[in-house]
Chain A
Amino acid sequence: MYGLKYLFTLLAFLSLSASAYSSNDDDKLGGVTVEIAPILSFEVNNLDVDFEYDEFTGVFTDKFDKNSFKVNGNAHWEFSVFAASGFLTSLDSPTEIPISHIRVARLDNDAVYIDLTTSAQVLLTGVGTIPTSEIKLRWWFRNMDSLGNLRAGSYAVGVIYQLTSSDFPVGSDPL
């Protein structure tokens, strides 16, 4: 859709500009410039990540939960994941679980990972549309034994998925 608009814009400018010039025999010099602006969007499949933990046996159900994201566009990008708070908190007990016990990594490359924090940390970088359909991430909890006796219940923390790019004009406002 955007390609067609570019073409029509260019054709309109060229045709109208040509008719503005006189039909002298002498050549006239002009120029055409097209400014391509950066375009970027991303989607995250499975925004919420769910775990179940049997503390007595130490067994996680779905210890490795997964989600994925895809990028469409033409700009350089950096993908970050960070938490809204430093702790997973429970609504029915005072116990908290530090988010530092959560790790996020690429599913196809364990060496690329972050330990979750409240600051944006770049997990992946790229340029333009991801050629494969999605980049898969995996989440898991680490060092749960260091937490001692956890009170039973549900714990939760909000997470933010962020795509940034240095190709956008300085001072552009986020949507």
Chain B
Amino acid sequence: MKNLAKVLMSLVVVMFISSSVFAVDPPADKYGIVTLEVAEYLVFDLGETADLEFDFHKLTGDNPAAQSTTVYVQSNVDWTASVEATDSDLEGVDGLGIGVLTIDGSPMALNTPVSKSSAMTANVSFEYDFEITENPIPGTYKTYLTYSVAQQ
């Protein structure tokens, strides 16, 4: 009886130690994060026709054809384009309005940024309607333009 008790006790001890020694669970998963940081960039250039020249003959009354220049942009951010002039009038014998400015066919005001979303190009054009202007004095009228592209 005494010996049987010893055997039973040893079995209890063995089972108790075994449960704390032997691992029956596989290891748990571990978690991380992969991140990619894409840097910003913005590069632009003007087309060849940055200087625009118009000829107007009042006798024929035909308005000169609209002329445009292309702003080429490489970017992965939203950007704005604007056109600035040294004066709101073309300087010359007498002042002459700057004309109608559009960007991609939509009206564009001088010195007012227009938003674009990572577009690769923008077409800026000038048009003149001399039918609504007074009879301009012959001569050369000019102004200087600054094209700007900036990250929005």
Contact = CB atoms under 8 A, between A and B. Distances in A.
B35 interface: yes
Contacts of A156: 33-36
Interface of B: 3-4, 6-7, 9-11, 13-14, 17-18, 20-41, 43, 74, 76-77, 118
Interface in A108-150: 139, 141, 149-150
Given A19-B6, A52-B37, A172-B25, 19 more contacts: A13-B14, A17-B10, A39-B23, A40-B27, A44-B30, A48-B33, A49-B32, A53-B36, A53-B37, A88-B34, A139-B34, A152-B38, A152-B41, A159-B31, A160-B29, A161-B31, A174-B25, A175-B27, A175-B28
The size bracket of the interface on A is: 35 or more
A158 B13 CA distance: 45
Contact of B10 (A6, A12, A150, A161): A12
Given A20-B6, A159-B32, A168 B39 contact: no
Contacts of B17: 5, 8-9
Contacts of A37: 21-24
B10 A151 contact: no
5 contacts: A83-B34, A152-B41, A155-B38, A156-B33, A156-B35
B150 to A, nearest CB: 15
